[in-house]
Amino acid sequence: MSVLPTLPKCPSSPPPSLTFFSSSPSFRVSVVKVKPPATASFWCCATQSQVAVVNGRAEGRISERNEIRLGLPSKGRMAADTLDLLKDCQLSVKQVNPRQYVAEIPQISNLEVWFQRPKDIVRKLLSGDLDLGIVGLDTVSEYGQGNEDLIIVHDALDYGDCRLSLAIPKYGIFENINSLKELAQMPQWTEEKPLRVATGFTYLGPKFMKENGLKHVTFSTADGALEAAPAMGIADAILDLVSSGTTLRENNLKEIEGGVVLESQAVLIASRRSLIQRKGVLDTTHEIIERLEAHLRAVGQFTVVANMRGSSAEEVAERVLSQTSLSGLQGPTVSPVFCRRDGKVVADYYAIVICVPKKALYKSVQQLRAIGGSGVLISPVTYIFDEETPRWRELLSKLGL
């Protein structure tokens, strides 16, 4: 495999080859024929980054810029939920003009925020025009196509939950078909008359069908309301993102056993090259991971404080730990409560501090009362910082650092 050397700028005239331009005057791609005639190398010149395409795959080069770039979804529910999450992590995005596609996060120096379509975030991470991004796992899988330069830094941001799933009509020849295996065994599908699937996932769809032994399948590219395709007679099945499944049911479609391609939610991704080569990206990523993890771990957790009489901290701790809902994160914090009595400072009471999940909150209060707790105070937890974030250790391991 050979890669053309990085060029400092676009030459004034391209080599004898086919040249075409995008709508942006700063972006040009030239296709240069080399021997053997069946292969070709591509080089790309742009204002920010350069890309070599070798054996049909994009090999991005690290671009010469000092700013660190984070790509965020520009529209829709994913965009709003992403901004809300960052705000909850004290990383509010400051956008001077809502029509602009560039913004900043004042809490992190030298970080630019670029609002892009999710699929373009993945593509620009591969080309080197972005360093970090937040998109759905389905988008990473479809447009990243297993490229090793993409690293999933955080795989569970707890929003944007959905699944990429195969759905077929409830009626006609599919009425008694309830699994992918049964669908594959239907005698109707032949080379002359294959199963027709409408989808926007033209990489994951064929890959999934091949891995599951469905040989006679064709895919039609479609966006928007795929649910209408079977009723219109232009497809036998659809492969699309499903959240609740209500839209499928309302259009007489059903999911089948074994038909889920992947479970998806919002993830934080990064360019391996940027993490290793671009100054400051790894440190910025560390801070973002820490803030995300601290917030996400605290969601649904409450601090419970109560006073309890006791002869010693150890004796009080024994009583607390005898209750199943009062163990806290690592155990209860027990400390003396001092008061002045008859001119002397004494500690007849001890304060217990524990962290409990919301679903166990009332049960925890009941158990505290049962062992002598009083004056119970409850407050939501905003952040829980670990000694070291597990996902940070995982990232360093992926990078070989």
Q: Is 372 found in the same domain as 252?
A: no
Q: Is 255 found in the same domain as 108?
A: no
Give the CATH number of the domain where residue 141 resides.
Answer: 3.40.190.10
Q: Is 124 found in the same domain as 247?
A: no
Q: Is 304 found in the same domain as 179?
A: no
Calpha distance 225→247 (Å, rounded): 10
pLDDT single digits (tens) 173-226:
999 999 999 999 999 999 999 999 999 999 999 999 999 999 999 999 876 789
Q: Is 313 found in the same domain as 238?
A: no
Greater model confidence, 306 or 2: 306
- Domain-embedded: residue 10: no
Residue 164 CB contacts under 8 Å (≥ 6 apart), including other chains: 138, 201, 204, 239, 240, 241, 242, 260, 261, 262, 264
- Domain-embedded: residue 348: yes
Residue 133: per-residue pLDDT = 98
Strands 344-357 and 301-309: antiparallel
CA nearest 237: which of 182, 163, 183, 185? 183
Q: Is 274 found in the same domain as 126?
A: yes
Q: Is 76 found in the same domain as 203?
A: no
Q: Is 367 found in the same domain as 326?
A: yes
User: Which amino acid, 201?
Assistant: F
- Domain-embedded: residue 41: no
Ranked by mean pLDDT, the top range of 2-6, 56-60, 109-113 is 109-113
Q: How many domains does the chain have?
A: 3
Calpha distance 332→310 (Å, rounded): 15
Give the CATH number of the domain where residue 359 resides.
Answer: 3.30.70.120
- Domain-embedded: residue 111: yes
Calpha distance 268→72 (Å, rounded): 10
Calpha distance 220→240 (Å, rounded): 12
Query: What is the chain's mean pLDDT, rounded?
Result: 86
Tokens, residue 215: 């040989």
Q: Is 190 found in the same domain as 246?
A: yes
Calpha distance 391→346 (Å, rounded): 45
CA nearest 236: which of 181, 190, 187, 194? 194
Q: Is 272 found in the same domain as 131?
A: yes
Strands 111-116 and 68-73: parallel
Give residue 181's domain range: 162-263
Tokens, residue 329: 């994160």
Q: Is 228 found in the same domain as 167?
A: yes
Q: Is 367 found in the same domain as 338?
A: yes
Name which of 7-21, 71-85, 138-152, 281-295 the model is least confident about.
7-21
With a pLDDT cut of 70, the percent of the chain lying above it is 84
- Domain-embedded: residue 391: no
pLDDT single digits (tens) 58-102:
454 566 788 999 999 999 999 999 999 999 999 999 988 878 899
User: Which amino acid, 382?
Assistant: T
Helix (H, G, I), strand (E, B) or coil at 267: strand
Over residues 141-158, the mean pLDDT reads 96
Triad 141, 146, 148: Cα angle to 5°: 130
| pLDDT of 57 over the 50 cut | no
Residue 205: per-residue pLDDT = 96
- Domain-embedded: residue 235: yes
- Domain-embedded: residue 369: yes
- Domain-embedded: residue 236: yes
Over residues 4-33, the mean pLDDT reads 40
Helix (H, G, I), strand (E, B) or coil at 231: helix
Residue 223: per-residue pLDDT = 66
